[in-house]
């Protein structure tokens, strides 16, 4: 489950689908891409996303912009919309595809020393030493991340319950979920066969219950046609599942288009992810 930025097979087809609706797909590379995410933060990602959005508006003339987050990129989207949103360039909404918990995934696949290193990282952060580099053994404890350098802050943020990256753990009480703080609509797309869920969430029914809980806690911010896509793995490789996902994305952006001329310049902007099961390549995109 390496956190590489990956260009998934569905991206070109998604670009075609939204292009037929007057939207364009744009790609950026964040400084946290590839093996750099262990030394970054959601806030740094949000600042860079904001700079890209400013560019799309000022230099490319784009008006409506939607963030499309995959996997850990969903965390970027939620952070962008709910943590100091007043300082960020405005967007029209966000699509969260495969919003899963790093904490729950690595609790399931990490080695026996994983919790020890997470505790060690949290202690360093509490002592004001969050920029301290952790030894390679800490990375190795988190499944296949042995080549990824981590600061204490990012290790604690990703792998600690209620860490700054922990938006999607199934154990978070509804009153502590961040969805309701979004001022913009959210489309959530969960994957029925996603490999990144813990065993207790392995069934479609369990994921649907989780989505229902999130929808209720969002106070209307999560659109009601958010869904668990049948047959979809983490990267939506199945053609039928991919088609179902595209239909949801198109429905979402068309809802944003209502009342606007079809020719209005729009953009879906897919953020960089730290995918759970991604291949190497490039993964964050947006629609221009």
Q: Express each pLDDT in 92-102 by its tens digit.
A: 999 999 999 99
Contact in structure between 1 and 143 (CB atoms under 8 Å)? yes
The reply to whether 223 and 280 lie within a common domain is: yes
Contact in structure between 253 and 10 (CB atoms under 8 Å)? no
Residue 229's pLDDT band, with cuts at 50, 70 and 90, is very high
Q: Give dist(CA 287, CA 38) in Å, integer.
A: 27
Please report, for the domain that includes residue 183, its CATH number: 3.40.50.1820
Q: Are strands 64-70 and 285-287 parallel, antiparallel or unpaired?
A: antiparallel
Write down the pLDDT at residue 267: 57
Instruction: Domain of residue 189: give its range.
Output: 10-101+166-266+276-287
| Residue 3 pLDDT greater than 60, yes or no | no
| CA dist 224 → 92, 111, 153 (Å) | 17, 38, 36
The arithmetic mean of pLDDT across residues 231-254, rounded, is 96
The reply to whether 51 and 108 lie within a common domain is: no
Q: Classify residue 141: in a domain, yes or no.
A: yes
Indicate yes or no: pTM above 0.85: yes
Contact in structure between 286 and 66 (CB atoms under 8 Å)? yes
| Residue 108 pLDDT greater than 90, yes or no | no
Between 154 and 288, the more confident residue is 154
The reply to whether 14 and 85 lie within a common domain is: yes
The reply to whether 141 and 96 lie within a common domain is: no
Contacts for 12-21 with beta carbons within 8 Å, 24 or more apart? 13/242, 13/246, 14/246, 14/249, 14/285, 15/285, 15/287, 17/246, 17/249, 17/250, 18/249, 18/250, 18/253, 18/268, 18/287, 21/250, 21/253, 21/254, 21/257, 21/262
Q: Classify residue 3: in a domain, yes or no.
A: no
Closest CA to 93 of 198, 248, 232, 261: 248
The arithmetic mean of pLDDT across residues 199-225, rounded, is 97
The reply to whether 55 and 115 lie within a common domain is: no
The reply to whether 97 and 107 lie within a common domain is: no
Write down the pLDDT at residue 144: 63
Q: Which of 111, 135, 165 is the last residue of a domain?
A: 165
Residue 284's pLDDT band, with cuts at 50, 70 and 90, is very low
Average pLDDT in the chain: 87
Mean pLDDT comparison of 13-17, 246-250, 283-287, highest-scoring range: 246-250
The reply to whether 78 and 207 lie within a common domain is: yes
Q: Give dist(CA 239, CA 243) in Å, integer.
A: 6
The reply to whether 175 and 58 lie within a common domain is: yes
The reply to whether 38 and 94 lie within a common domain is: yes
Write down the pLDDT at residue 2: 24
Q: Classify residue 36: in a domain, yes or no.
A: yes
Percent of the chain with pLDDT over 70: 85
DSSP string of 134-195, one letter each residue: PPHHHHHHSTT-TT---BHHHHHHHHSTT-TT-S--TTS-GGG-SGGG-SS-EEEEEETT-T
Residue 127's pLDDT band, with cuts at 50, 70 and 90, is very high
- Total domains in the fold of the chain: 2
Q: Classify residue 237: in a domain, yes or no.
A: yes
The reply to whether 59 and 132 lie within a common domain is: no
For 178-201, the pLDDT digits (tens) are: 999 999 999 999 999 999 999 999
The reply to whether 88 and 175 lie within a common domain is: yes
Write down the pLDDT at residue 257: 81
The reply to whether 40 and 179 lie within a common domain is: yes
Q: Classify residue 203: in a domain, yes or no.
A: yes
| Residue 259 pLDDT greater than 60, yes or no | no
Q: Classify residue 16: in a domain, yes or no.
A: yes
Helices 152-159 and 102-109: crossing angle, nearest 10°? 90
> Cα-atom radius of gyration of the chain, to the nearest Å?
18
The arithmetic mean of pLDDT across residues 79-85, rounded, is 97
């Amino acid at each position: 489950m390496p956190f590489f930025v990956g260009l998934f097979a569905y991206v070109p087809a998604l670009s075609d689908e939204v292009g037929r609706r007057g939207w364009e797909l744009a790609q950026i590379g964040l400084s946290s891409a590839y093996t750099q995410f262990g030394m970054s933060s959601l806030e740094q990602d949000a600042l860079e996303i904001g700079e890209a959005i400013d560019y799309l508006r000022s230099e490319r003339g784009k008006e409506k912009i939607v963030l499309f987050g995959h996997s850990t990129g969903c965390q970027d989207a939620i952070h962008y919309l709910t943590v100091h949103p007043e300082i960020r360039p405005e967007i029209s909404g966000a699509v969260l595809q495969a919003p899963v918990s790093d904490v729950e995934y690595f609790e399931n696949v990490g080695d026996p020393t994983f919790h020890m290193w997470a505790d060690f990282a949290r202690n360093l952060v509490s002592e004001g030493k969050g920029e301290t580099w952790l030894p390679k053994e800490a990375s190795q404890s988190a499944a296949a991340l042995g080549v990824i350098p981590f600061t204490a802050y990012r290790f604690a943020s990703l792998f600690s319950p209620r860490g700054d990256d922990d938006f999607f753990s199934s154990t978070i009480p509804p009153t502590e979920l961040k969805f309701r703080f979004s001022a913009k609509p959210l489309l959530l797309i969960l994957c029925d066969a996603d490999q990144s869920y813990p065993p207790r969430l392995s069934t479609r029914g369990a994921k649907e219950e989780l989505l229902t809980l999130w929808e209720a806690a969002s106070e209307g911010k999560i659109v009601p046609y958010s869904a668990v896509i049948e047959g979809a793995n983490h990267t939506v490789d199945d053609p039928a599942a991919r088609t179902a996902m595209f239909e949801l994305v198109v429905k979402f952006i068309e809802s944003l288009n209502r009342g606007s001329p079809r020719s209005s310049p729009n953009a879906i902007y897919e953020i960089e992810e730290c995918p759970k099961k991604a291949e190497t390549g490039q993964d964050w995109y947006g629609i221009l």
